[in-house]
Amino acid sequence: MLKIFTSDDTHLTVEETNGTWKINKEDRDFDIKPAGKNKFHIITQNQSISAEILEIDEAGKIFTLKINGNTATFQAKTEMDLLLEKMGIKTKGSGEVKEIKAPMPGLVLDLFCNEGDTVQKGDKVMILEAMKMENVLKSPGEGKIKSIKVAQGDNVEKNQLMIVFE
């Protein structure tokens, strides 16, 4: 599943399963043909659409398209992007981490980093115990730790700021 957000904060849910497309849970058939460099001709639901890719920001997953003469900017978010956002883990472009918030209420059992440390994507940063389960929290990207707002033995609430990166 992919959510596409527009500049006016509306969104579409786009899903593809075995060649079948759904937009906002409605089946859609697309006939897409190249029509030049970064240009496409699309036929869907008996409508003809002219589309051109004007700009792509791969790190931010932001696309600027010209559709039937109108320019629009879209941001794509995968299920993982939405989950990280829901957990309060924010990132800057290109994998650089901004902060880590508690994904759930719990107890900080252990910290594996210190202020000033540089962490890479996937490095263990702490263990958070929640509902009698130990959850290893890993860095979602690379960055240098500016400050740690919790200590071993602290109880945290959901979305509480725990680590800030430079």
Largest distance between two CA atoms of the chain? 62
Q: What is the mean pLDDT of each run of 10 residues along the chain (166 residues)?
A: 70 80 84 90 90 84 88 83 72 64 92 94 90 86 92 94 92
The string of pLDDT tens digits covering residues 75-123 is 888 877 777 777 766 555 545 568 898 888 999 999 999 999 999 888 9
The pLDDT, as a whole number, for residue 44 is 87
Locate 48 and state its tokens.
């003809």
The domains of the chain, with CATH numbers, are 2-78 (2.40.128), 88-165 (2.40.50.100)
